[in-house]
Amino acid sequence: MSKILLAGGAGYIGSHTAVELLNAGYEVVTADNYSNSCPEALKRVEKITGKQIKAYELDIKDIKALENVFEENDIDSVIHFAGLKAVGESVEKPVLYYRNNIDTTLSLLECMEKYKVRNIIFSSSATVYGEENPVPYTEQMKRGTCTNPYGWTKVMMEQILEDAAKAQKELSVVLLRYFNPIGAHPSGMIGEDPQGIPNNLMPFVAQVAVGRREKLTIFGKDYDTPDGTCRRDYIHVVDLAKGHVKAIEYAQKNKGTEVFNLGTGTPYSVAEIVDTFERVNEMKINHVYGERRAGDLPESYANADKALEILGWKTEKTLEDMCRDTWNWQKNNPNGYK
Ligand code: NAD
Ligand code: WQD
């Protein structure tokens, strides 16, 4: 079975994707500098699957170190998760974000060309739809105007990958636009482990639940939405991971660039997330309402038809599953992997 290189494979989405790839019979090689993850996540993946991962510690920007991975392994396809992803930090440190996210992409493309690796799946984001496009987002919409450097790195990386596929006819590029991944593997052994104060809603809720944070602030309740709080397309990380297995199968059979939304198509509000987490896990989440957060859109959700039609993929898990599995991970690992 073919060998897949997961760049940034020890992270939240990479580790869950590793489980699904190993279960589907692929061999997995990871390359990660552990800047936002740890090797323990990969050990847990091995425990869950009973299979082994070949893990390299390196910075993907370091082309010599990366070439060694291609030299030592007969890589069939690359999945590019390796990026910095904190929106607020990207506003404070734009150069760091552009350097890291764009250089990792260029290094991977250069190595792929040298070693004749023809398939790359890229972790893009719904953020590329920007501010102008109406919901639900469809893949043929033009990329929009982003509100932060993180978002712009995704727009730029999509462009770079598309241009590479135009120039190299044998290349297959699959751009996966993730919506809001939450949840954890049902084993409770792997999950999201943010460093410092979580930026994203679900890890914050989970840390309030486990007593690491006193209360959640819900950012804004005067949006033009049914309950006044923002609505997002939350997707279970295991569903998302399975989407990557389908994308690999697609890339192996096709050439050129294709874009897919990976979302459920159903938006839920922040208040609904809190309510569902409380109900499913039989607990209270201490919360208050605060000001709107700069840059937040009232609504973001996918039209998920294309992934179903072409990849034969759709989400299977419910919001209840997402809330239950998040808590199962957090309560078993109150301090994450530490
Ligand atoms: P994550 O931070 O958990 O995983 C990213 C991994 O990449 C980490 O293990 C990190 O150590 C590694 N990494 C970063 N820079 C590297 C470098 N230069 N060399 C080697 N390794 C490097 O994040 P995640 O949530 O798993 O996200 C994976 C990808 O999906 C990212 O590109 C992210 O932008 C994208 N994405 C995430 C979300 C989300 O909400 N989590 C949504 C849309 C898109
Ligand atoms: C969700 C909702 C907040 C925290 C971000 C990136 C996006 C993508 C996914 C990578 C919003 C509200 C949050 C809190 C809150 N990442 N919230 N209190 O902003 O939709 O998307 O992550 O590509 O690019 O922008 O996700 O989880 O931060 O917020 O009320 O403490 O929860 O206002 O409405 P977002 P999020």
List pLDDT tens digits, range 96-109: 999 999 999 999 99
Which own/partner pairs from 282-288 qualify as long-range (CB within 8 Å, at least 24 positions apart)? 283/209, 285/205, 285/208, 285/209, 285/216, 286/208, 286/214, 286/215, 286/216, 287/208, 287/215, 287/216, 287/217, 287/218, 288/215, 288/216, 288/217, 288/218
Q: Identify the band that residue 75 occupies on the pLDDT scale cut at 50, 70 and 90.
A: very high
Q: Is pLDDT of 1 > 90?
A: no
Smallest Cα–Cα separation from 330: which of 202, 234, 199? Answer: 202
Protein residue with least CA distance to atom 28, ligand 1:
81
Mean pLDDT of 215-226: 98
Whose alpha carbon is nearest atom 15 of ligand 2? Answer: 218
Q: Which helix (H) or strand (E) holds 261?
A: strand 256-262
Ligand 1: lining residues by beta carbon, under 6 Å = 8, 10-14, 32-37, 59-61, 81-85, 100, 104, 123, 125, 178, 180-181
> What is the residue type of 186?
P
Q: What is the pTM of this model?
A: 0.99
Quick: pLDDT tens for 309-338: 999 999 999 999 999 999 999 999 999 999
Distance 193 CA to ligand 2 centre (A): 16
- Ligand 2 shell residues, CB under 6 Å: 85, 87, 125, 127, 180, 199-201, 204, 216-219, 230, 232, 270, 293, 296, 300
Ligand 1 center to residue 67 CA distance, Å?
Answer: 21
Mean pLDDT confidence for 193-209: 97
Q: Identify whether 150 is a catalytic site residue.
A: yes
Find the catalytic residue in 137, 150, 234, 268.
Answer: 150
Arithmetic mean of pLDDT, 194-214: 97
- How large a percentage of the chain has pLDDT more than 90? 100
Percent pLDDT > 70 in the chain is 100
- C-alpha angle 161-125-225 in degrees, rounded to nearest 5: 150
